[in-house]
Amino acid sequence: MLQEALDDLKKLLELDPSYKKVAEPRMARLEKELEEKRKKEQEEMMGQLKDMGNKFLGLFGLSLDNFKADKDENGSYKINFSQK
């Protein structure tokens, strides 16, 4: 519903720019709330993916904590394994 409210405010400004003073602060607040919601959902999803990965790796006595990804200067990743 936050995205729909933001879209409505954008459409309102397209149709009548005189609402700019009223709409812009509300749009900024909605964008902030949307970003916070996206971050929370992303964290939850990453947690679920990590749990799923650990279930699979657990069959081999491993965990995702045994692997570390390092980004190099080319933008690619190098995966390192460490036994704890």
Q: Note the pLDDT tens digit of each residue in 4-62.
A: 999 999 999 999 999 999 999 999 999 999 999 999 999 999 999 999 999 999 998 88
pLDDT of residue 49: 93
Cα→Cα distances 13→7, 21, 34, 35, Å: 10, 10, 19, 21
Q: Is 0.85 surpassed by the pTM of this model?
A: no
Residue 65 pLDDT exceeds 90: no
Going by C-alpha positions, the residue among 83, 80, 84, 56 that lies closest to residue 70 is 80
